[in-house]
Amino acid sequence: MIKYCANLSTLFPELPFLERFGAARSAGFGAVEVLFPYDHPVPDMLDMLGRNEQSLAMITCPPPNYTGGERGFAAVPGREARFQQDFRRTLRYAKALGAKHIHIMAGAAAGPDALATFVANLRWATAFAPEQSLTIEPMANIAVPGYFLNDYVQALEIIKEVRAPHLGIQFDTWHAFQIHGNVGDIWAHVKNYVTHVQFAQSPSRNSPDVAGDIDFTSFMKQIKKDGYKGWVSGEYTPDGLTGSSLNWKA
């Protein structure tokens, strides 16, 4: 059985943030994820999670959000101290909120030095937080120009080089299609290292029940057949009210 999760940073945007937990619960979501929870008091979020009997699947490191904030430092040479500072803060939030995964963002960088920096920082993070599940996610250049981690094959190679059992791949269908052009094929290549899945239709990053590039019926059947046991999170932009975009969950 697929365990569906709601990304509260993208779903239910028609509601104030704290009200989204209850809306997700009413829609049948027993787990949620929040990309950047740092602008909200931890006690308030804990109250919402407890009141709605929900698990927190994932938060993102570093704390700055997408509005004017850099998209990570983990692969940026010379920013190691900043990465460690931000990771410590994110880890405090993850522990306080019971977040299953922390997604570590690589940032804008390129070349051998960036690769060496990314591997070294991931080794530091996995050693610093041996009981915390960590993920890395390739992002398409069309969405995040210059982002270091922009290929799922590359992500798999990095995972194998770091060699930490609690470091996995965050598989996003939209990014996977934009990068590789075939979600099923790249899933088959990396599936044994995937610990968290996010989905949105391509090209417009909207609901999976909208016609587009990705056959979600086949994809969901495949991950179920492959025995994937992690969460599968809706990280898309609804066309209108979120409730009208949830037909795929029926």
- Mean predicted confidence (pLDDT) in 122-137: 98
- Tens digit of each residue's pLDDT (9 = 90 or more) over 143-154: 999 999 999 999
Q: Which of 19, 53, 80, 235 is catalytic?
A: 235
d(CA 105, CA 125): 12
**Per-residue pLDDT at 157 exceeds 70:** yes
Burial letters 113-147, b for 16+ CB under 10 A, else e: ebbebbbbbbeebbeebeebbbbbbbbbeeebeeb
CATH homologous superfamily of 3-249 equals: Divalent-metal-dependent TIM barrel enzymes (3.20.20.150)
> Is the separation of the CB atoms in 242 and 11 below 8 Å?
yes
Can 70 be counted among the known catalytic residues?
A: no
Which pTM was predicted?
0.96
Lowest mean pLDDT among 45-49, 149-153, 240-244: 240-244
**Per-residue pLDDT at 65 exceeds 60:** no
Can 157 be counted among the known catalytic residues?
A: no
Q: Which of 53, 70, 80, 137 is catalytic?
A: 137
User: In the sheet where 167-172 sits, what is the strand order?
Assistant: 55-56, 31-33, 3-7, 231-234, 194-199, 167-172, 133-136, 101-104, 58-61
